[in-house]
Every structure is written in C-alpha cells, then in structure tokens.
Structure 1
Amino acid sequence: MEKAFTLAVVSEEKKVDYVSNFLKGKANYWWESARASEEEEVITWDRFKKIFLDKYFSSYMQTQMELKFFQLKQEGMNVREYEKKFTELARFVGDYVDTDEKRAKRFQQGLKPWLRRRLDAFELTTYAEVV
C-alpha cells in the first residue's frame, strides 16, 4: 500500500480512506467494527496500521520480527543489502525508529564496527546521511 500511495500521490489524511476501499468481506466487517470502537474521530494511517497488525499479525510473530530487527547487524552484507533488510524490519518497531534521528542512530549501530567508527567522526543525524 505504501508503494501505491506514492504512485497515486495519496495525502496522509486520505490514506485510511484509500485503503479501506480495498477491504472486502471479513476484513471490511472487521474495519467497520474497529473504526466504530475508536475514540478518535479521525484515524491516522499510523493508527490504522497498528490496529490492523494487532488483528492480523499475532503478537508472537510481531515479537519475532522485533527481535530480528534488534539483532540485525550488517556483518556479511553490503550497505545496500543491510539497508534493505533494515527497512523491511523497521516497520515492526515503529516507536524505536519513528524519527529520522532515531532511525539514523539505530542504522549506524548495526553497521560493521570499522564503518560505524568512521561515521562517528562526522556526527551524522539524518538517515539519508548515514546511508
């Protein structure tokens, strides 16, 4: 869906509406019920993702993905491969990488030690700079 948002140029405020149109059958019934039980009138995209994952992605699986993220190290990967894996797993640990600075810091921590030490000298603060 994130790719579709980029392609279709969907604003942050319209993402939930956009996605909810694709829900069919039981998923649509679940969404109608979940939306009715939410206290906030406007449900953000981040909130939607959280309640969707809570429903369709078991807490055990989510914990496993979080562990994989926190154990992720560059090791035998090149930076591009490491960045791809980092991005795949980062979606399961939103609070730990919810700002550009946190994301950059965590990414740098997983780099090979010699590379991490070299980057330390530059005091980079954005994810793009670190990558």
Structure 2
Amino acid sequence: MERQLEIAQCDDNEKVLYASRQLQGAALDWWDSFYFSHTEANPITWPEFHSAFHSHHVPARLMKLRRSSWLSSKGSMTVAEYRDMFIQLSWYAPTEVDEDEKRQELFMEGLNDGLQYQLLSHTFASFQQLVDKALVIENKHHQMEDKKRKFQG
C-alpha cells in the first residue's frame, strides 16, 4: 500500500482516501469502526490512520513475539537468509530500525558469535555495508572450512 501511495504521489488526505478504499474483510471492518468513531471535526490524517491501523493489526504482543523469534534464530542460518528474515521482521519493529545505527545494532545481535566478534571492531557507514562485510566474512569462513576438509581428507 505504501508503495502504491508513493507512486501515485498522494498528499496525506489523498493517502487516507485511497488506502481506506483498498481495505477488505477485517481491515475494512476496522476502518468502518475507526471512521465512524472519529469524533474530531478535522479529517483523519495519514499519520493518524497509519498509526491506528498499525497498532490494531500489529499488536505490541505480536511485535514482541516476532522480535524474540528473530533473536532466537541467532546463528542458525546463513547471513543472506538472516538478512532476508531481518528485513521482513523489521516491519514489526519499525521504531527499533528507524535509524541506520539502530538497524545495524539489531542486525548484529542476530549474527552468530564468531561473525559478531569479527565485525564488532569495525564501524560501518551503512546497514548495507555491514551486511556486505558479514557476507564476505561468512564466505571466507566457508572457503577455509572447505580447504581444511580437503587437507584432512
């Protein structure tokens, strides 16, 4: 929805109108209830709509569960798999990843201890640079393991 609104270059009032017309099922039921209970004379703003929609459809408890599953997967997947999951789950914790530094810190928490240790002494200009470096180190680690197996074999 956000992408469609961005492409359409809607202003905040148009965003509410457009987004509310796209809702179906339970989301539409929520909108009808929210709209009719809105008592202010001013129209509903986009930030108000977005915040209310998010808090209703993504409850705080669900966000905590997603975050714990995010962190419990520490080290159990490749960096690329973890990056993809991190990006998906970051939707559930927007305030925890709204700044690049916070995003980097949270991403580091989910990496295995060996990668964390190798990356901690560095400062990265961006989240993407951190991910890129983690991928390079992981790849080098796999190459070294392969050489070790071949040598021992």
- TM-score above 0.5, yes or no: yes
**Contact conserved, 2:70 with 2:110, CA < 8 A, in 1?**
no
TM-aligned CA distance change 1:103 to 1:113, over 3 Å: same
Identity of aligned residues (%): 23
| Residue in 2 that maps onto 1:29 | 32
After superposition, give the CA deviation of every residue in 1:59-84 in whole Å (9 maximum; x if it has no partner).
543432233234342x1311111011
Unaligned runs of 5+ in 2: 132-153
- Higher-helix-fraction structure: 2
Unaligned runs of 5+ in 1: none
After superposition, give the CA deviation of every residue in 1:29-73 in whole Å (9 maximum; x if it has no partner).
134236x357896332xx534321332345543432233234342
Aligned length: 126
Cα distance in 2 for partners of 1:48, 1:129 equals: 34
Give the root-mean-square deviation of aligned CA atoms.
Answer: 3.1
Q: Which protein shows a greater Rg? A: 2
Q: Secondary structure at the match of 2:85?
A: helix
Q: Secondary structure at the match of 1:19?
A: helix
| Residue in 2 that maps onto 1:55 | 56
| Residue in 2 that maps onto 1:109 | 109
Using the size of structure 1 for normalisation, the TM-score is 0.70
Cα distance in 2 for partners of 1:129, 1:12 equals: 33
Using the size of structure 2 for normalisation, the TM-score is 0.62
**Contact conserved, 2:58 with 2:92, CA < 8 A, in 1?**
no
